[in-house]
Structure 1
């Protein structure tokens, strides 16, 4: 069994965990310590049980808000999948496409004439 050392607030801890879970435990402890540091920065030193309780409650509040956002995003995704927005692509009538191609050819021919006359002049 592995052991992980970390600090939360103003106290050092060592906790045993399964092999391979060290990174997750350190990350969780880091999150709890960040909350504890905010509390200590605002309220100063306080008893360890109260500090851990307040830090845990702050994390639980943040987690609850994230869960609410995830549920709302999942609902929106389900709604979009059920009723996908229709995208209509306009179709250019063949006569208009032919006329535009003719105009483009004429413009290219005029440009070529202008270029040729500049080269000669």
Structure 2
């Protein structure tokens, strides 16, 4: 079991952990240190047990708030999943009337005939 040195509230602690778990221990210590540092800055040097207790309580309070929010979100998700699926919406796509195609073809033919006449006169 490796020993890891962690720093909380400006104090170093030697902690043993399972091999491969060092990064989890350091992450957890970082969270605890983030709560302990402001305490030490505000109150000065505190007894080790009091600093750890207060930092742990602050971290537990944040964890409880996150767990409460998670419970609410899970309840909301369950509610949304229980709703029936919405009905498919009918979408109508406009169709080009056949007369329009014929008219456009006639206009194109006239335009080509006019272009041919202009070319003939230009020569």
Common topology (TM > 0.5)? yes
TM-score by length of 2: 0.73
Q: Shift of residue 40 of structure 1? A: 1.5
Matched, 1:67 2:67: yes
* Larger Cα-atom Rg: 2
Q: Secondary structure at the match of 1:46?
A: coil
Instruction: Give the root-mean-square deviation of aligned CA atoms.
Output: 2.9
Aligned twin of 2:13? 13
Q: 5+ unaligned residues in a row in structure 1: which ranges?
A: none
Q: Which runs of 4+ in 1 moved over 6 A?
A: none
User: Using the alignment, how far apart are the partners of 1:16 and 1:52 within structure 2?
Assistant: 18
Bigger shift: residues 36-45 or 69-78: 36-45
User: Using the alignment, how far apart are the partners of 1:25 and 1:90 within structure 2?
Assistant: 56
Bigger shift: residues 5-14 or 80-89: 80-89
Aligned twin of 1:97? 95
Q: Secondary structure at the match of 2:4?
A: strand
Count residues with an aligned counterpart: 109
Compared with structure 1, are the counterparts of its residues 88 and 8 closer, same or farther at alpha carbon in structure 2 (3 Å cutoff)? same
TM-score by length of 1: 0.74
User: Using the alignment, how far apart are the partners of 1:75 and 1:52 within structure 2?
Assistant: 34
Compared with structure 1, are the counterparts of its residues 21 and 78 closer, same or farther at alpha carbon in structure 2 (3 Å cutoff)? same
Q: 5+ unaligned residues in a row in structure 2: which ranges?
A: 119-123
Q: Secondary structure at the match of 1:98?
A: coil
